[in-house]
């Protein structure tokens, strides 16, 4: 089987559907499988999920980044979420038959092409990083677009990996390779953003919380939100993170009001959640009726 690579670009536009649709159409025109597209007006941000062969996915990403650079002006963009560019983060993720190294190579090749052909500054992150201090996305993104403007990008530490050391209204593109992650937000029943920040600090790995969890506290839709990335749901499953947030909220007299999934989640995450709460050990994809039928119809072995 041919390798399948996923790409999950985040664009700094979540309020004007026509702009998002134009970016999505540009991506789809490369012949990829479009798996999802969601806009978040509060974060003023959209995430598109697509997959395909390495060549198709790289071309789709290029077209999406080019469209975003043409259509989005960061000088007029506002939103809660930190961002460097119009096409803010463009990760390649290995799916079937693909490796993280394949994705890193793809990201580096695309980064060079974006720098050369679109004249955008490009930073490589994650497994594609060329500098060790750029492996972590939050480090690359620190200070946001504003920190790059007015010559900030000419500081040695902000020198782009590809493209010019000058920034226009499309900002910079952060391109990289990583493993699958789950982006999951929990809303609390309060507008006390400080509570969300405290809970984020309690649960995230960087301040001694749960392994493979990134978390920020912010105010979204008038509600305190704990916004999280789960970097390895095999070792730190979603339900354990949600229950940790629930407990941290409860000890402050607060509760979870609702939660939100950004993009897609691997099927195994869903199985693990059900297995946990139902105390149903050994639940696997082969026990899902529609999945079994779908596998048989594709001529693939059952799980």
CA distance 39 to 229: 17
Assess 33 for contact with a copy of itself (CB under 8 A).
Answer: yes
Residue 52 CA neighbour count, 13 Å, CB half:
18
Assess 297 for contact with a copy of itself (CB under 8 A).
Answer: yes
Q: Near a copy of itself by CB under 8 A, which window of 79-87, 112-120, 144-152, 276-284?
A: 276-284
Instruction: Tell me, by CB under 8 A, how many residues bind a copy of itself.
Output: 48
Catalytic residue among 43, 81, 239, 276: 81
| Binding residue (CB under 8 A) for a copy of itself from 167, 180, 230, 254 | 180
Please say which residue, 124 or 271, places its beta carbon nearer to a copy of itself: 271
Q: Of 220, 216, 222, 282, whose CA–CA distance to 245 is shortest?
A: 216
Q: Are 74 and 85 in contact (CB under 8 A)?
A: yes
CA distance 143 to 178: 22
For the CB of residue 269, give the shortest distance to a copy of itself in the complex, in Å. Answer: 8
Assess 251 for contact with a copy of itself (CB under 8 A).
Answer: no
Assess 105 for contact with a copy of itself (CB under 8 A).
Answer: no
Assess 28 for contact with a copy of itself (CB under 8 A).
Answer: no
Q: Are 188 and 222 in contact (CB under 8 A)?
A: no
Q: What is the DSSP letter of 11?
A: E
Assess 47 for contact with a copy of itself (CB under 8 A).
Answer: no
Assess 147 for contact with a copy of itself (CB under 8 A).
Answer: no
CA distance 300 to 303: 9
Residue 7 CA neighbour count, 13 Å, CB half:
38
Assess 245 for contact with a copy of itself (CB under 8 A).
Answer: no
Q: Of 180, 233, 172, whose CA–CA distance to 51 is shortest?
A: 180
Catalytic residue status for 81:
yes
At residue 165, φ and ψ (nearest 5 deg) are -85, 50
Assess 258 for contact with a copy of itself (CB under 8 A).
Answer: yes
Q: Which residues bind a copy of itself (CB under 8 A)?
A: 4, 6, 33-36, 49, 51, 95, 180, 238-239, 242, 256-261, 264-267, 270-271, 273-274, 277-281, 283, 285-298, 302
Active site residues: 81
């Amino acid at each position: 089987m041919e390798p399948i690579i996923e790409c999950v670009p985040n664009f700094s536009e979540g309020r004007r559907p026509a702009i998002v649709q134009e970016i999505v159409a540009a991506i789809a025109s490369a012949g990829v499988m479009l798996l999802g597209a969601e806009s978040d007006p509060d974060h003023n941000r959209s995430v598109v999920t697509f997959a395909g062969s390495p060549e198709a996915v790289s071309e789709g990403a290029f077209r999406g980044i080019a469209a975003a650079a043409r259509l989005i002006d960061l000088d007029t963009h506002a939103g809660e979420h930190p961002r460097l560019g119009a096409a803010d983060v463009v990760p390649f993720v290995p799916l079937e038959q693909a490796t993280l190294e394949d994705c890193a190579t793809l990201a580096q090749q695309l980064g060079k092409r974006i720098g050369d052909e679109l004249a955008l500054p490009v930073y490589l992150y994650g497994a594609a990083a060329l500098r060790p201090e750029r492996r972590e996305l939050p480090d690359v993104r620190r200070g946001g677009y504003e920190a790059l403007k007015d010559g900030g990008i000419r500081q040695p530490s902000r020198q782009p990996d590809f493209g010019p050391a000058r920034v226009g209204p499309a900002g910079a593109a952060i391109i990289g390779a990583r493993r699958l992650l789950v982006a999951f937000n929990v809303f609390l029943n309060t507008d006390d953003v400080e509570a969300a920040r405290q809970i984020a600090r309690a649960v995230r790995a960087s301040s001694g919380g749960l392994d493979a969890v990134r978390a920020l506290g912010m105010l979204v839709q008038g509600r305190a939100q704990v916004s999280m990335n789960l970097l390895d749901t095999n070792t730190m499953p979603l339900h354990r993170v949600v229950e940790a947030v629930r407990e941290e909220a409860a000890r402050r007299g607060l509760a979870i009001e609702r939660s939100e999934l950004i993009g897609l989640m691997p099927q195994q995450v869903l199985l693990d959640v059900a297995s946990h709460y139902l105390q149903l050990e050994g639940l696997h994809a082969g026990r899902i009726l529609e999945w079994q039928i779908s596998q048989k119809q594709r001529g693939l072995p059952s799980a």
